[in-house]
Amino acid sequence: DGTSVSLDAQLTQWYTRRRKDLELADGTPLPLFVEPKIDGISISLVYENGVLARAVTRGDGDKGDVVTTQVLAMRAVPKNIALDGKIEVRGELYIPLAKFAAYNEGLVAKGEAPLANPRNGCAGLVKRKSTDGLERVGVTSFVYQVAWSEGLSMKLPTTQHETLPFLAKLGFSVYDDATCVATSAEEALAFCASFESRRASLPYEIDGMVLKVDDLSRHGDLGMTGHHPRWGLAYKFPPERKPTRVVDITVQVGKSGKLTPTR
């Protein structure tokens, strides 16, 4: 009907639908794991017998770019982990704000154009053919999911909140104090709101939060749509607003006398 629905209402409706899908009785909790949505580049990492064998960007959702050489050169993820068998983990590559500022200062000092923002800068660097100097940029990662495994001698965690400590023990960087296990939609909303107020003080850029059903066994029950999982929801923050100042306008005069700003 064209009526806009608030983010809070969307989250509450999503939570209610997930409870209904799982046929949960009134009073039965459905814990949610809430974590930051890093404004970075999604990455899939496959390890075989503890060695990084393949790193692939998400791309269009079905096919991404193989960037194993670049990721290793950046030292953004562990080259080796203490694990046998095969495992695929997923996360985000990103440039911390301090590293981004320092890298841009270096570009400007050399007379080169600075990167527009950390996310686009990270995407361009990850796809760069030449790996020269990539280790000095400061690209790093947060890893948050085990996608699949084969032939492991250990059991995998059964909840999302246990997955992060598991990944940390393997040597991956994970969120530290930036997560919450919420037992209701209201509790999840409160955490999202509190985290938005911390946004400006974080050492990395985020554009929202991600909510996931904490019990991983429920993920299979809920399944997927054509382009996203039913067990997860992205809670996007409103775009940041900052003052700007126009310092110059270049105008081009056409043959007919029409004036067109070019930059």
Q: Which residues are known catalytic residues?
A: 37
- The four Cα atoms 40, 43, 49, 51 give a dihedral, to 10 degrees, of -60
Which residues sit opposite 233 in a β-bridge? 211
> Shortest CA distance to 157 belongs to which of 56, 222, 87?
87
Instruction: For strands 32-38 and 180-182, give the pairing.
Output: antiparallel
- Is residue 47 within 8 Å of 112, Cβ to Cβ? no
Phi (first) and psi of residue 141, to 5 degrees: -150, 160
- CB atoms under 10 Å from CB of 86, counted, come to 15
DSSP for residue 112: P
Q: How many CA atoms lie within 13 A of 121 on its CB side?
A: 23
Look at the alpha carbons of 254, 260, 261, 262 in this order and tell me if their dihedral is positive or negative.
negative
- CB atoms under 10 Å from CB of 199, counted, come to 14
Q: List the structure tokens of 56.
A: 């692939």
| CA–CA distances in Å: residue 221 to residues 15, 17, 67, 102 | 15, 13, 33, 46
- Is residue 161 within 8 Å of 214, Cβ to Cβ? yes
